[in-house]
């Protein structure tokens, strides 16, 4: 008997017919002799609808109260799916994040998991039940409900799989695996049979929306076998596991992230400790920084540019405005009309000319590069947002074209 954790996203449980389809997948897994834990997201656009309802009453509600509100979306999904499975004659129970003992810190709207007790989960499985868990949610030391932020249901599923020592964690979505690029943009994108944790982590971090980066990070840490699979076609998916060069490709995929903004702090003092002041200020306010570029100092002045999430642009503008006297800069410019396009591949570290081919593709498409960032397995460029789709196609054709 195997223990399998299955996660279903919002599109997979969006309506009655799709819930019935998920119930069929889950019960088929159980009929094959497996113990099953299912993690569900909120239905369709439920989370966005709840955010809109909150905004109608209060433009700036507290993050604590938003977590209370947003928790309800996953609870609706879990109970409806349990009812659908009951209708098929299978023993089932639905549980919230706090009922399974998922303890988090108190960073409302973006909480981190501390531990999962697992006792209730194990007891229900031992009693022969299929267990449905509301993803995205936990409870802090004060007994308040919390949410895990974007992609939180993926993280919930992997955390449960790690806690229970599951044989497999399947992430069901609306695509049938991980592709070399977004198949909605690139028609000839190829599905990968397998990809390494490191490659998937980079792709997830760089904008590929198949898996959330925190879930991949956790899967690698606890050696959880992951599979990305479609809830609609039921074709074999993409395995995410340890290994290198599984597909014998220097580049495994192209990713795009339009949730970017470029911050430029102009004419700072060119003295030791200036960069520390800037980035310690960002860290204090929990602002995630990505690409960083510092100009060559002239006349005892320098400029520092960095990228942040577009969602944080307005907040960062306020933080820097309030810190103008401390940082002693001349001006701040924030551009939200940018995008990050990246290539990822475990084989890149030992392959010459990969960066040159990427830049050749961009030059051929007439696309200007604003910033560049590299690591052993990825190269990222910041470009104008309006060019991002064209860039993905040009780069993909360069590396994967026939």
- The Cα–Cα gap between 121 and 24 comes to 22
Residue 177 has pLDDT above 90, yes or no: no
| Lowest-confidence pick of 42-56, 179-193, 266-280 | 179-193
List, for residues 368-402, the tens digit of each pLDDT value. Answer: 999 998 888 889 999 999 999 999 999 999 988 86
Average pLDDT for 213-226? 90
pLDDT at 136: 94
Q: What is the pLDDT of residue 246?
A: 46
Per-residue pLDDT tens for 225-252?
999 998 888 788 899 987 644 445 578 8
The neighbour count for residue 376, using CB atoms within 10 Å, is 11
CB distance 382 to 336 below 8 Å: no
Residue 164 pLDDT > 90: yes
Burial of 66 (0-12, 13-18, 19+ CB in 10 A): middle
The token pair at 293 is 């570029």
pLDDT at position 156 is 96
pLDDT at 247: 44
Give the mean model confidence (pLDDT) for residues 169-174: 91
Residues 6+ apart with CB under 8 A from 39: 5, 6, 7, 8, 133, 134, 135, 153, 156, 157, 160
**Cα 391 from Cα 384, distance rounded (Å):** 10
Kindly tell me the sign of the dihedral angle through the C-alpha atoms of 243, 248, 250, 252.
Answer: negative
| Contact (CB, 8 A) for 255 and 207 | yes
Q: For residue 165, what are its two tokens?
A: 């020592």
Lowest-pLDDT range of 199-213, 332-346, 382-396: 199-213
Reported as a single tens digit per residue, the pLDDT across 192-204 is 888 888 888 877 7
Q: Which of 172-176, 181-185, 338-342 has the highest mean pLDDT?
A: 338-342
pLDDT over threshold 80, residue 105:
yes
Cβ–Cβ under 8 Å, residues 110 and 285: no
Does residue 141 carry a pLDDT above 60?
yes
Query: Scanning the structure block, which residue is given the tokens 């599109």?
Result: 11
Averaged pLDDT score across all residues of the chain: 91
Q: Which of 5-9, 270-274, 349-353 has the lowest mean pLDDT?
A: 349-353
Q: Kindly state the percentage of the chain with pLDDT values over 70.
A: 96
Which tokens in the block code for residue 312?
């944080």
Q: How much of the chain, in percent, has pLDDT values that exceed 90?
A: 71
pLDDT of res. 175: 79
Task: Tell me if 239 sits within 8 A of 192, measured CB to CB.
Answer: no
Q: What is the pLDDT of residue 209?
A: 65
Cβ neighbors of 265 (< 8 A, separation 6 or more) are 278, 303, 304, 305, 320, 327, 329, 332
């Amino acid at each position: 008997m195997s223990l399998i954790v299955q996660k279903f996203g919002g599109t997979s449980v969006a309506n009655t017919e799709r819930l019935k389809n998920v119930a069929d997948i889950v019960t088929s897994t159980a009929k094959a002799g497996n113990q099953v834990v299912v993690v569900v997201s909120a239905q369709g656009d439920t989370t966005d609808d709840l955010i809109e309802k909150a905004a109608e009453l209060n433009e700036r509600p507290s993050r604590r109260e938003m977590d209370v509100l947003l928790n309800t979306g996953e609870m609706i999904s879990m109970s409806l799916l349990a009812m659908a499975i009951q209708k098929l004659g299978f023993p089932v129970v639905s549980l919230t994040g706090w009922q399974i003992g998922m303890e988090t810190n108190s960073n409302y709207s973006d909480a981190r998991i501390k531990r999962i007790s697992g006792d209730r989960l194990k007891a229900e499985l031992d009693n022969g039940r299929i267990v449905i868990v509301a993803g995205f949610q936990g409870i802090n030391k004060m007994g308040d409900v919390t949410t895990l932020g974007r992609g939180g249901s993926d993280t919930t599923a992997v955390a449960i799989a790690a806690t229970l020592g599951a044989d497999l964690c399947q992430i069901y979505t609306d695509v049938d695996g991980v592709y070399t690029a977004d198949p909605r943009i690139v028609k000839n994108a190829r599905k990968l049979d397998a990809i390494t944790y490191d490659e998937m982590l980079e792709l997830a971090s760089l904008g590929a929306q198949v898996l959330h980066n925190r879930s991949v990070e956790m899967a690698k840490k606890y050696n959880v076998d992951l599979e990305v699979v479609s809830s609609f076609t039921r074709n074999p998916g993409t395995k995410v596991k340890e290994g290198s060069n599984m597909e014998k490709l220097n580049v495994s995929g192209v990713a795009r992230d339009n949730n970017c903004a470029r911050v430029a702090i102009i004419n700072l003092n060119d003295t030791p400790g200036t960069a520390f002041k800037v980035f310690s200020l960002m860290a204090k306010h929990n602002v995630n920084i990505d690409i960083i570029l510092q100009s060559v100092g002239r006349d005892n002045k320098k400029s520092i540019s960095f990228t942040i999430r577009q969602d944080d642009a307005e907040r960062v503008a306020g933080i820097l405005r309030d810190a103008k006297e401390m940082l002693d800069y001349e001006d701040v410019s924030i551009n939200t009309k940018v995008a990050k396009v990246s290539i990822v591949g475990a084989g890149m570290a030992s392959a010459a000319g990969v960066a040159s081919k990427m830049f050749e593709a961009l030059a051929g498409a007439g696309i200007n590069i604003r910033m560049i960032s590299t690591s052993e397995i990825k190269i990222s460029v910041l470009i104008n947002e309006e060019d991002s789709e064209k860039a993905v196609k040009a780069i993909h054709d360069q590396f994967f074209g026939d």
